[in-house]
Amino acid sequence: MIRVAGPSATVRDELGEHEARLPAGRGRERLVAGDRVIVRARGDELLVEGLEPRTTVLERADGHSRRSRPLVANADLAIVMTSVVDPPLRPDIVDRYLVAAAVGGLEAAIAITKVDLEHDRAVFDEVCATYRRIGHSVIAGDARSREFVEATRELIGGRVAALVGPSGVGKSTLAAALTGVERAVGEVSQKAGTGRHTTTDPRLLPLPDGGAIVDTAGVRTFHLPALDVRSVEAGFPDVAAAAERCRFRGCNHVGEDGCAVPGAVSPDRLESYRRILEEVGALTRRAPHA
Ligand SMILES: Nc1nc2c(ncn2[C@@H]2O[C@H](COP(=O)(O)OP(=O)(O)OP(=O)(O)O)[C@@H](O)[C@H]2O)c(=O)[nH]1
Ligand SMILES: [Mg+2]
Ligand SMILES: [Zn+2]
pLDDT greater than 70 at residue 168: yes
Q: Quick one: pLDDT at residue 62? A: 84
Residue 201: pLDDT band with limits 50, 70, 90: confident
Q: What percent of the chain has pLDDT over 90?
A: 68
pTM of the model: 0.92
Domain ranges in the chain?
3-51, 57-215, 229-279
b/e sequence 204-228, b meaning 16+ C-beta within 10 Å = bbebeeebbbbbbebbeebbbbebe
Measured in angstroms, how far is the CA atom of residue 183 from the centroid of ligand 3?
47
CATH, domain 57-215, list 3.40.50.620, 2.60.40.10, 3.40.50.300, 2.40.10.350: 3.40.50.300
Whether the CB of 60 sits within 6 Å of ligand 1: no
Nearest ligand 1 atom to the CA of 166 is 25
pLDDT greater than 50 at residue 69: yes
Q: Quick one: pLDDT at residue 199? A: 61
Q: Are 3 and 202 in contact (CB under 8 A)?
A: yes
Q: How many CA atoms lie within 13 A of 74 on its CB side?
A: 16
Q: What is the spatial order of strands in the sheet that 212-215 belongs to?
A: 138-140, 107-113, 77-83, 160-164, 212-215, 203-206
Residue 190: pLDDT band with limits 50, 70, 90: very low
Ligand nearest to the CA of 240: 3
Measured in angstroms, how far is the CA atom of residue 168 from the centroid of ligand 2?
7
Protein residue whose Cα sits closest to atom 9 of ligand 1: 170
Q: Quick one: pLDDT at residue 192? A: 40
Across the chain, the runs of DSSP E, i.e. the strands, are 3-5, 8-13, 16-21, 37-42, 45-51, 57-61, 68-73, 77-83, 107-113, 138-140, 160-164, 203-206, 212-215
Question: Residues 172-189: what's their mean pLDDT?
Answer: 74
pLDDT in tens, 7-28: 888 999 888 899 999 888 766 7
Q: Quick one: pLDDT at residue 195? A: 41
Q: Quick one: pLDDT at residue 203? A: 87
Measured in angstroms, how far is the CA atom of residue 185 from the centroid of ligand 2?
6
Q: For the ranges 28-37, 83-92, 175-184, 186-195, which has the lowest average pLDDT?
A: 186-195
Residue, of 117 and 248, whose pLDDT is higher: 117
Residue 194: pLDDT band with limits 50, 70, 90: very low
Mean pLDDT of the chain, nearest integer = 89
pLDDT greater than 60 at residue 188: no
pLDDT in tens, 25-57: 766 778 899 999 999 999 999 999 888 999 999
Whether the CB of 187 sits within 6 Å of ligand 1: yes
Q: For the ranges 70-79, 94-103, 147-156, 257-266, which has the lowest average pLDDT?
A: 257-266
Q: Quick one: pLDDT at residue 285? A: 66
Q: Quick one: pLDDT at residue 65? A: 76
